[in-house]
Amino acid sequence: MTSTLSELLAVEPLGASLRDELQRLIDTKTKPPGSLGRLEALARQLGMIQRTTRPRVERPAMIVFAGDHGIASEGVSPYPQAVTAQMVANFVAGGAAINAFSGVAGLELEIVDAGVATPLPPLPASSALVSLPISRGTRNFAHESAMTRDEAVAALAAGAARVRHHAALGTNVIGFGEMGIANTSSAACLMSRLCGVPIDECVGRGTGLDNAGLARKRNVLAAALARHANVCEPIDVLATFGGFEIAMMVGAFLEAARQRMAILVDGFIATAALLVADTLAPHVREYCVFAHASNEAGHRRMLDHFGARELLALDLRLGEGTGAALAVPLLRAAVAFLNEMASFESAGVDERSERPGSERSERSH
C-alpha cells in the first residue's frame, strides 16, 4: 500500500507517559545515579519510543539508498558519476565498509537503487538490491530543478514503503545510508536553504576535493541557490536541490517515525534528509538517535540546529550508514542495562544514605 503525503506527515509526538517510570527504574539500578551517562538517556528514549519499560532491539536494519546527481557535471566531485553504480555492485558483493560494519552490528542490510544513472552490472537475483529508480539520476540543478514535485513525492513514497517492509518483518530499530556522487552538494544546498545558513558554511570537501575544487564547488552552489532564490517550501526545496536517494530517505524517516521505530541518524547527507523530514513533520526528531558527528563541514552546524548530542565522534565522513551502524551496540547496551541490571532492592544492596539533616535522615531517627 502506498502512503499519501498527508499520511506520511501524520507523525505522533513521542509522548511522555512512561518517562517518569522509566527514570525511576533507571535510578534504582545498582549504580550511582547518572553513572551510566548517555546510556541512561538512550534507554529512556527507547522505552518512550516503544511505549514499554522493557524496550528491545529487534531485527535492526540498515537501508542504503543510491542515486545520481546531475550537478556532478559541474565538476563538484573528483569522482566520475560511474562510481555510484560501481559502489552499488560493491555493496551487493559484500565488499564495502557498511557490509563489514553491518556484520559487526547484526544489521539486516538492504541496498535500494533510487536512481543510479549508470546501468548496473548483472547481479544475483537473491542479492540485497531492491530496484526502485524514479529516473536514471536527477537533472542538473545549476540550470533547472533536480526533479519534479511529482518525482519527489514518488521518491518519498518509495522510501516509506521500504520501511513498512522491514516493520512487517519485526524491525524496531532502523538506520539509513546513502551513496551518490555529488550528493554532498545537494545536502549543502538543502541545509543552506532550510536553515538559512550561508552556503560557504555548508560546503565541505566531500570525497576529497582540493582547495581549487572546493572553491569551484562553493561558486557553483552559490550560483544555483541564487538561480532558485524563490524556492522555499520544503517539498519544492527537496525537488529543486535533492537527489532521489535523499528524497527516499526523507520518506523513510517519516515512515519510521510513524512506525515508532528508533531511527539511527548517520552523517551529513542523512542529516540533510532528516532536516527536510523534520521541516515537514517536526515530531520526527523525537524518534532519532544521532549516531555520530561527521568530519564533513556543515554537519556540526546541522547537529546544533537539532540540539543534538551525538553518541560517537570518530572523524568519519564516508556515509553509507557507517556511523549509524557503529552505534547499534550502544543501543543494545542501553536496553541490556535497563532489562538485566538488578535494582538495589532485588540485589539486597544498600542505597546511598542521605546527608545528615535531610528529610529522609530525620525520619529515620
Q: In the 3-class helix/strand/coil scheme, how is the chain assigned residue by residue?
A: CCCCHHHHCCCCCCCCCCHHHHHHHHHCECCCCCCCCHHHHHHHHHHHHHCCCCCCCCCCEEEEEEECCHHHHHCCCCCCCHHHHHHHHHHHHCCCHHHHHHHHHCCEEEEEEEECCCCCCCCCCCCCEEECCCCCCCCCCCCCCCCCHHHHHHHHHHHHHHHHHHHHCCCCEEEEEEECCCHHHHHHHHHHHHHCCCHHHCCCCCCCCCHHHHHHHHHHHHHHHHHCCCCCCHHHHHHHHCCHHHHHHHHHHHHHHHCCCEEEECCHHHHHHHHHHHHHCHHHHHHEEECECCCCCCHHHHHHHHCCCCCECCCCCCCCCHHHHHHHHHHHHHHHHHHHCCEHHHHCCCCCCCCCCCHHHHHCC
Active site (annotated) includes residue 296: no
Residue 66, CA distances (Å) to 141, 145, 222 in order:
18, 19, 25
Q: How far apart are CA 56 and CA 165, in angstroms?
A: 19
Q: How far apart are CA 43 and CA 262, in angstroms?
A: 11
Catalytic residue among 233, 320, 359, 362: 320
Residues acting as catalytic residues: 320
